[in-house]
A and B are shown apart, each in its own frame.
Chain A
Amino acid sequence: MSDIAIRAGDDTRRLVQVKRRQDLIFGVVGILVLFVVMGLLMTLVADLLIDGLGRISPEFLTSFPSRRAAAAGVLSAWVGTTLVMLVTAAIAIPLGVGAGLYLEEYASKNLLSDIIEVNVSNLAGVPSIIYGLLALGFFVYALDMGQTILVGGLVLSLLILPIVIVATREAVRAIPSGLRESAYGIGANRWQVMWSYILPSARPGILTGAIVGLSRAIGETAPIITIGALTYIAFLPPAPVTSTPPWINFEWLNSPFTVMPIQMFNWTSRPQAEFHVNAAATGVLLLCMTLMMNGFAIYLRYRLRRTVRT
């Protein structure tokens, strides 16, 4: 009898050993894959930093583009990017969140909503140049809006709308049904349930989706080039705040613009090596802008989590 017990023990031990080995193999493979991916990324970033870091100076940030590489800067590009991102966020986030909430909470589940769901997901995979062509044909030519910051923001918000919608739906779907049931259970109507209970709980997820979308938009070049944004801009859009009433000025929306990726693209296609350095420096700055945006989102998410809990 004890013999059997010992044999069973051996079997169990062998089983444990096999599982240990499997764990080890998977762990090693995982680390290798991680190193490859991180290595590639680090190489790219390091290369960019080595080329561009030395070029970044206050003058680089406060100068307009120039024919002479040493005098050129990215002032109009970073201002343009910032303003275009503002427009994009102001359009894409309310529209995307609204559409996502409607599809998830209000729309009845039928064939039509299924078709819409599939198509929204498909839209996220449409090449960005298609959006650029749409914007060129519709906003620029049909509506005659010109190559302005507003059009740039519109096309980028179209581009990221599917991302925001899908993220919103996922965030709402992840809310435990108990919360929804108890909110309805106290007699709340749909609006109250959504506004007071679902939206606060879904906010961190929605925010993540919005930032993923904006991070994609900030680096987009193709649709912006397609609508015909200029590559050489030696002036700034009118300031959004004025010293005379009504203090807020929306003229900047109709101003021509350039953005960081276009400035980079333009400089990389010049033959002179000095311009390539400028391009690398612009790349570093663009990376910084994206990181700052993500950092802000992480901070917001942290704050929201805290307020949601209390």
Chain B
Amino acid sequence: MNEALHIASPAVTTPTPLSPEATIRARVSNLDFWYSKFQALHSVSMPIHNNKVTAIIGPSGCGKSTLLRCFNRIHDLYPGARYEGAIELMPDGLNLVSRSVDPILVRLMVGMVFQKPNPFPKSIFENVASGLYVRGLRNRSEVEGRVEKALKQAAIWDEVQDRLKKPAYELSGGQQQRLCIARALAPEPKLLLLDEPTSALDPIATAKIESLIADLAHDVTVVIVTHNMGQAARISDQTAFMHMGKLIEFGETEQIFTNPTVDQTRDYITGRFG
């Protein structure tokens, strides 16, 4: 039986069978999430395919960012966060949201880029190296090599290679965001989370980041939250549509955008609400 069909919860329809050779990087199953008394996610189940870009779309307040932030347990920084269900990271099936799993361990495996570019108040080099430093990597030449690699992956190396010692704040917004992507990539995460990474950027910077994300999927599995449907259609392989904390539909991006099976998805995609 097809894996994607197998894990689909009753609320989710996956009519287009996903290619059988697609491997699963992570699997969300029956995930509930509470902000104190408020339940923000209701029994979300979906697969995250290896070396693919998975987009999560939906109207404001639908829970798409909440879902993304479960993947690296950033919710745990605030009191009252509670998870039920599982996000299993393959191949070992470690449940990222289990209470017995240390959130720091989760964040060491899952990188994240936030909505607003938020470089650390340090130099460009130090920013990218910070993820390596917290992992105890001190060997100068190895750190330098991995910083360079990450900056190249994030398509910003050419712009910053002469000024690695300069403060990251001197970069433009789009450059800062690509720097943040490099920072997340440097420790070679198993999963890269992008939370509306272009919503604070101008169209040119956005275009750069979009083409970068498509390239990234060769090396890393990407989950991106976006309110920009065009962006989801352009860069993602699979798309999940959420509404009111529930996953309404999940499938191949092309199918979701051309032939959605649920009326709500169709209404949202054609701009009737949201």
Using known A-B contacts A181-B74, A186-B187, A189-B134, determine if residue A200 contacts B121 with beta carbons closer than 8 Å: yes
Complex contact A308–B104 (CB within 8 A): no
Complex contact A179–B118 (CB within 8 A): yes
Contact indicator per residue, chain B 111-127, by CB within 8 Å of chain A (1) or not (0): 11010101011110000
Complex contact A109–B79 (CB within 8 A): yes
Residues on B with beta carbons closer than 8 Å to the beta carbon of A182: 112, 114, 118, 120, 180
Check: A185 CB closer than 8 A to any chain B CB.
Answer: yes
CB closest residue in chain A, given B107: A187
Residues on B with beta carbons closer than 8 Å to the beta carbon of A183: 120
Complex contact B121–A309 (CB within 8 A): yes
Complex contact B77–A180 (CB within 8 A): yes
CA distance A201 to B169 in the complex (A): 14
CA distance A185 to B72 in the complex (A): 7
Shortest Cβ distance from residue B11 to the other chain A in the assembled complex, whole angstroms: 30
Residues on A with beta carbons closer than 8 Å to the beta carbon of B187: 186-187
Check: B184 CB closer than 8 A to any chain A CB.
Answer: yes
Number of residues of chain B lying within 8 A (CB) of chain A? 29
Using known A-B contacts A184-B107, A185-B112, A308-B121, determine if residue A192 contacts B77 with beta carbons closer than 8 Å: no
Complex contact A187–B122 (CB within 8 A): no
Number of residues of chain A lying within 8 A (CB) of chain B? 23
Residues on A with beta carbons closer than 8 Å to the beta carbon of B72: 185
Residues on A with beta carbons closer than 8 Å to the beta carbon of B133: 196
Q: Give the dominant DSSP class at A's interface.
A: helix
Residues on B with beta carbons closer than 8 Å to the beta carbon of A180: 77
Check: A266 CB closer than 8 A to any chain B CB.
Answer: no
Contact indicator per residue, chain B 169-203, by CB within 8 Å of chain A (1) or not (0): 10000000000100110010000000000000000
CA distance A127 to B83 in the complex (A): 49
Check: A122 CB closer than 8 A to any chain B CB.
Answer: no
Complex contact B134–A187 (CB within 8 A): yes
Contact of B135 among A176, A185, A187 (CB under 8 A): A187
CB closest residue in chain A, given B135: A187
Residues on A with beta carbons closer than 8 Å to the beta carbon of B54: none
CB closest residue in chain B, given A182: B118
Complex contact B122–A189 (CB within 8 A): no
Which of B77, B79, B184 gathers the greatest number of chain A CB atoms within 10 Å? B77
Check: A252 CB closer than 8 A to any chain B CB.
Answer: no
Name the interface residues of B93-151: CB closer than 8 Å to any CB of A. 104, 107-108, 111-112, 114, 116, 118, 120-123, 130-131, 133-135
CA distance A58 to B47 in the complex (A): 81
Check: A108 CB closer than 8 A to any chain B CB.
Answer: yes
CB closest residue in chain A, given B79: A109
Shortest Cβ distance from residue A175 to the other chain B in the assembled complex, whole angstroms: 10
Shortest Cβ distance from residue B41 to the other chain A in the assembled complex, whole angstroms: 19
Complex contact B79–A186 (CB within 8 A): no
CA distance A196 to B166 in the complex (A): 18
CB closest residue in chain B, given A110: B79
CA distance A308 to B180 in the complex (A): 18
Using known A-B contacts A182-B180, A201-B121, A310-B167, determine if residue A187 contacts B131 with beta carbons closer than 8 Å: yes
Using known A-B contacts A197-B120, A309-B167, determine if residue A181 contacts B77 with beta carbons closer than 8 Å: yes
Contact indicator per residue, chain B 224-255, by CB within 8 Å of chain A (1) or not (0): 00000000000000000000000000000000
Complex contact A188–B134 (CB within 8 A): yes
Name the interface residues of A195-216: CB closer than 8 Å to any CB of B. 196-197, 200-201
CB closest residue in chain B, given A108: B79
Complex contact B118–A178 (CB within 8 A): yes
Residues on B with beta carbons closer than 8 Å to the beta carbon of A200: 121
CB closest residue in chain A, given B183: A186
Contact indicator per residue, chain A 37-81, by CB within 8 Å of chain B (1) or not (0): 000000000000000000000000000000000000000000000
Using known A-B contacts A186-B187, A187-B104, A187-B134, determine if residue A178 contacts B169 with beta carbons closer than 8 Å: no
Shortest Cβ distance from residue A309 to the other chain B in the assembled complex, whole angstroms: 5
Using known A-B contacts A109-B79, A179-B120, A180-B77, determine if residue A186 contacts B111 with beta carbons closer than 8 Å: yes
Residues on A with beta carbons closer than 8 Å to the beta carbon of B167: 309-310
Contact indicator per residue, chain B 49-77, by CB within 8 Å of chain A (1) or not (0): 00000000000000000000000101001
Question: 6 more A-B contacts (CB under 8 A) besides A179-B121, A182-B114, A189-B104?
Answer: A179-B118, A181-B114, A182-B180, A187-B135, A201-B121, A310-B165
Which B positions have Cβ atoms within 8 angstroms of A? Answer: 72, 74, 77, 79, 104, 107-108, 111-112, 114, 116, 118, 120-123, 130-131, 133-135, 165-167, 169, 180, 183-184, 187
Report, nearest first, the 10 A-B pairs whose CB atoms are least far apart. Answer: A187-B108, A178-B118, A186-B131, A187-B107, A188-B134, A185-B112, A182-B118, A310-B167, A308-B121, A309-B167
Q: Could you list some 12 contacts between A and B, CB below 8 A?
A: A180-B77, A181-B118, A185-B74, A185-B114, A185-B184, A186-B107, A186-B130, A187-B104, A187-B107, A196-B133, A200-B121, A308-B121
